[in-house]
Amino acid sequence: MFARERQERIVREVRERGSVRLAELAEQLGVSMVTLRRDVEVLAGQGLVRRVHGGITRSEPAPSPAPGPAPAPGGQQLVIGMVVPTASYYYPAVIKGAREQAERHGARIVLAVSRYDDEEARARVDQLAGSGVDGLLLTPSRQPDARHEDWLTTLPRPAVMVERQTGLGRLSSRLDSVASHHAHGAFLAARHLADLGHRRLVTAARPSPTTQSVRQGFLAAVRELGLAEPVQVDIGADGPADEQCAQVLAAVADGATGMLVHNDSDALVLVQQLQAAGVRLPEDLSLVAYDDEVAALSAPPLTAVAPPKEAVGRRAVDLLVRRLTDDPDAPAEHTVLLPELKRRASTAPAR
């Protein structure tokens, strides 16, 4: 891990938790205390962290004046419509990041939920446009394809797509977009398991707009690292059933020792089923969850890939505000943010 990457990880941990012990950070990053203290020295000199006995805390920035309202065309406060598939899983953090960033710009978010239904998404966009929003943060119910082209190229307001990306060369690619790089996150999971000595892996996922990217990233890592082709378990829309648990148990009996489950809500259910069948985590199976919504609440706490959900929301607002107020003719920007791996107690070296 490069020094810059380590330092970014340190700053994120401190911002999320408020304070962190140096010994815990050194173990988490896999570096010596000498290396860690050198990183902390650099960050403290930049005012990004504050050193305390045995650890570091958030640096308290000097208060800055609150921004005035971002002006909409016509001089009024900007109002941003935000359409998400759900407000109960994954997207609350995206919404939080967007709302907080909108407030920093002096703008206001109006939220609508499409329930993973294309027609509902279209209706919510029309409703928001009719209510007078200035721009849209839009998450289509699934990854856009040719069937979305007419809609996305005739949206009634300037828009930024959130956690979705259009196909190459489509007219809709002229929309700004911000998304997590889920293939990268899955690659991190497979590499983590391989670094621990796990050579035979399992991947389990239910259908979702991100499942294809997760599987592509996982398979890319498996093949690059020379591992055996993973066992692939397809979880149904209602979550893990006895049949999927039996498939995992069979893979473990056949020598699989590492596993990625997308998403981590399903991972919790599978963990319970596996433990009831006598499989121990991490002694018999090292398991990585994807999404990091509730992974830390498992017993044992699950190592998880954490997409940068709040950062996605913040960046989407920045792009939209720029488009609405500063540079409406700027080239389209497609921003991809990298997930990180959070190591917990569900992964360990292979026996």
Which segment of 61-75, 277-291, 332-346 scores lowest on mean pLDDT?
61-75
**Percentage of the chain exceeding pLDDT 70:** 95
Tens digit of pLDDT for each residue in 318-340?
Answer: 999 999 998 888 899 999 999 99
Tens digit of pLDDT for each residue in 188-198?
Answer: 999 999 999 99
pLDDT of residue 127: 96
Q: What average pLDDT does the segment 8-36 reach?
A: 83
pLDDT of residue 155: 96
Q: What average pLDDT does the segment 115-138 reach?
A: 96
pLDDT of residue 308: 97
Q: What average pLDDT does the segment 106-119 reach?
A: 96
Residues contacting 167, CB < 8 A, separation 6+: 144, 145, 146, 173
Position 296 confidence tier, pLDDT thresholds 50, 70, 90 = very high
The answer to whether the beta carbons of residues 284 and 159 sit under 8 Å apart is: no
For residue 64, pLDDT over 70 is answered with no
Q: How far apart are CA 239 and CA 217, in angstroms?
A: 22
Structural element, H or E, at residue 289:
strand 286-290
Structural element, H or E, at residue 303:
strand 303-306
Pick the residue with more confidence: 76 or 108? 108
Q: What average pLDDT does the segment 91-110 reach?
A: 96
| Mean predicted lDDT score pLDDT of the chain | 91
334-337 sheet: strands from edge to edge: 108-113, 79-84, 135-138, 159-162, 176-180, 334-337
pLDDT of residue 49: 84
pTM of the model: 0.80
Which segment of 17-26, 124-133, 141-150 scores lowest on mean pLDDT?
17-26
Position 65 confidence tier, pLDDT thresholds 50, 70, 90 = very low
Collapsing DSSP to helix, strand or coil, 341 comes out as strand
- Cis preceding-peptide flag for 92 (omega within 30 of 0): no
The rounded radius of gyration (Å) of the Cα atoms in the chain is 22
Q: What average pLDDT does the segment 234-245 reach?
A: 94
